[in-house]
Amino acid sequence: MHMVTIDQIIAEKLCGWFVGDWPVGNLIACTIALLLSVLLCGAVGIEREKRGRTAGLRTHLLVGVGSCLIMIISIYGFPLITLPNGTYLTRDVARLAAQIITGVGFLGAGAIMHRSSGIKGLTTAATIWIVMAIGLACGSFNYILAVGSTILILVVLTVFRKFEAKINKKSILASLNSSNNSPALPKLLVVAKEFDYSINDIQTEIGEDKSITYTFLISSNEGGEVAISEFFSKIETIEGVNEVRILNSHH
């Protein structure tokens, strides 16, 4: 069964429009694709810019428009080869698109940073990758698909952010610094068990002074609020503990 989409019908109508021998419709389709990639990828970039992320408006625009341009070149930039029998030699227009996916993956990796509080930039790396996909959709004249995907992405970045904050509201991100000659992690777990708390996502970092910094999430097994004052007071009595801090912005 041959599947036909609305985007394919629009592309066929536009690209089939000639003024004399000039393929004016093709020029209009490519122009719409480039302008639409600017609008859609710019919307995602503005959201990242407002959040103060390392990759903002310009980065997302360049990735999206560049992907759109390469997709157009992949489709129209190479002439068809006519065989002696009058048929055309088939060519794979998706080869350049496949290279874009690999290349942008490395670019997104540059937005990921490892800090003492954990790994940062994963969402921004994902948005860089997704604007690449939006650019490819625009460049292949899948306009409706590109618009619908962008709306969904903006909903995830804005509305879902509030749901995520509510889900993580009762979890506290904290760090504990202890001396090297007295590791505090086993004792921390003992104290957490006394309070019936869970310690998750533990990350360890050794400082230049050989001290050990543990970053972890604290949550109550009963689903209630964490009695942070009492819990921290107990932790501070552990031998070798230098400092305990809360890292959550909402605590």
Q: How far apart are CA 75 and CA 219, in angstroms?
A: 53
Of 141, 167, 193, which residue sits at a domain end? Answer: 167
Asked if 157 and 237 sit in the same domain, the reply is no
Asked if 163 and 176 sit in the same domain, the reply is no
Asked if 190 and 223 sit in the same domain, the reply is yes
Higher pLDDT among residues 81 and 102, named by residue: 102
pLDDT at 251: 41
Asked if 52 and 98 sit in the same domain, the reply is yes
Asked if 113 and 213 sit in the same domain, the reply is no
pLDDT at 250: 44
What average pLDDT does the segment 182-210 reach?
81
Name the residue range of residue 74's domain. 6-167
Do 187 and 212 form a contact (C-beta atoms < 8 A)?
Answer: no
Higher pLDDT among residues 184 and 113, named by residue: 184
pTM of the shown model: 0.67
Residue count of the chain: 251
Asked if 24 and 142 sit in the same domain, the reply is yes
pLDDT at 120: 64
Asked if 141 and 209 sit in the same domain, the reply is no
pLDDT at 115: 52
Does residue 197 surpass a pLDDT of 90? Answer: no
Around Cβ 128, how many Cβ atoms within 10 Å? 28
The tens digit of pLDDT for each residue in 17-38 reads 888 888 888 899 999 999 999 9
Asked if 142 and 35 sit in the same domain, the reply is yes
Higher pLDDT among residues 87 and 188, named by residue: 188
1 belongs to a structural domain: no
